[in-house]
Amino acid sequence: MRTRKISRTSSAYTLKAKFADILYHDFENQQLEFLKRELSKLAQRAQACFIDAGCGTGRLTGQVADELRVQVIGLDSSAHMIHRARQLNTSNRTAFKVGELEHIRGNNQYDAIFIMFTVFNYITDPRKAKKAIRSLYQNLTPGGKLIIDAANILNYIDCYKPKITNKFKRAEGTYTQEISHLVDKQEMLMHHFERFITPTGGIIKEHHALKFYPKDILQEFLEQAGFSAKKIKFLFNYSTRKPNNNYPRIIAVATK
């Protein structure tokens, strides 16, 4: 796979890559079961290959590869995340690359591309998001699947709390995560500010923005990219199709 070389690196992820395995485990089992359900048939194709786009430290990349016995390429725009992903995943079913999901240069060769845990919302410019979906469509084999596990604005508005503190107890001590959100309903944008405090008092600060893409917009982008409306389904959590306003996800599964 060739991806455009990127000069932008996210400094927050320099340090955060070390701790991502602590932070990103909230929905792990549900996510894994969901991916196995959606992708098991495709994994049985001869020489099947998937992409975990925005793979972070590869926590799902490795598990999908092992459990479905399939080749999975983990792609992330942060070199630090990829470095950590390589340390944590040594199976020869996985490979990791630095790159942006908007610039995957393949040629109808991937059987599935999955974008988990709000990574798609990091693309805050809707024109770029739309273009990204078009290019992802082109990278899929016929019958291949694109899965976008996006943030659901209803969750952030209905369950809005100015500040959230999470504690993670580990053998070496307690990690504290302090999150504050600023939701701009007009722009459908959320600013995420975070302080992550290690047991030795180290502080990592992060800010990123998430753009919300409601169901109708995602549907439009997917159809304009070439997916047939009949082959697009939406889920509002990983296990049922029932909308749930309190659930933080809106998941699009589109088959080429």
Ligand X SMILES: C[S@@+](CC[C@H](N)C(=O)[O-])C[C@H]1O[C@@H](n2cnc3c(N)ncnc32)[C@H](O)[C@@H]1O
- The contact set with ligand X (CB under 6 A) reads 10, 13, 24, 53-56, 59-60, 75-78, 81, 100-102, 116-119, 122-123
Q: How many CB atoms lie within 10 A of CB 191?
A: 13
Residue 116 or 218: the one with the smaller Cβ distance to ligand X is 116
Q: Of how many residues is the chain composed?
A: 256
CB of 23 to ligand X, least distance (A): 8
First to last CA, the chain: 20
Indicate the SS3 state at residue 201: coil
Q: Using the 8-state DSSP alphabet, how is residue 54 labeled?
A: T
**How far is the C-alpha of 143 from the C-alpha of 229, rounded, in Å?**
14
- The distance of closest approach from Cβ of residue 125 to ligand X in the complex, given in angstroms and rounded to an integer, is 11
In the complex with ligand X, the residue whose CB is nearer, 44 or 207, is: 207
Residue closer to ligand X (CB basis): 56 or 144: 56
- Partners of residue 121 on adjacent β-strands: none
Q: Which is nearer to ligand X, 45 or 183 (CB)?
A: 183
Q: How far is the CB of 112 from ligand X (least distance, A)?
A: 14
- Which single residue brings its beta carbon nearest to ligand X? 56
By C-beta, is 48 or 150 nearer to ligand X?
Answer: 150
- Residue 123 beta carbon to ligand X: minimum distance, rounded to whole angstroms: 6
154 vs 210, which CB is nearer to ligand X? 210
Find the radius of gyration of the CA atoms of the chain: 18
In which order are the strands placed within the sheet that holds 49-53? 94-98, 71-76, 49-53, 110-115, 140-151, 249-255, 232-235
Q: Is 29 exposed, middle or buried (0-12, 13-18, 19+ CB in 10 A)?
A: exposed
| Secondary structure E strands in 38-89 | 49-53, 71-76
Residues 207, 182 contacting (CB under 8 angstroms): no
Short-list 233, 235, 229, CA closest to 248: 235
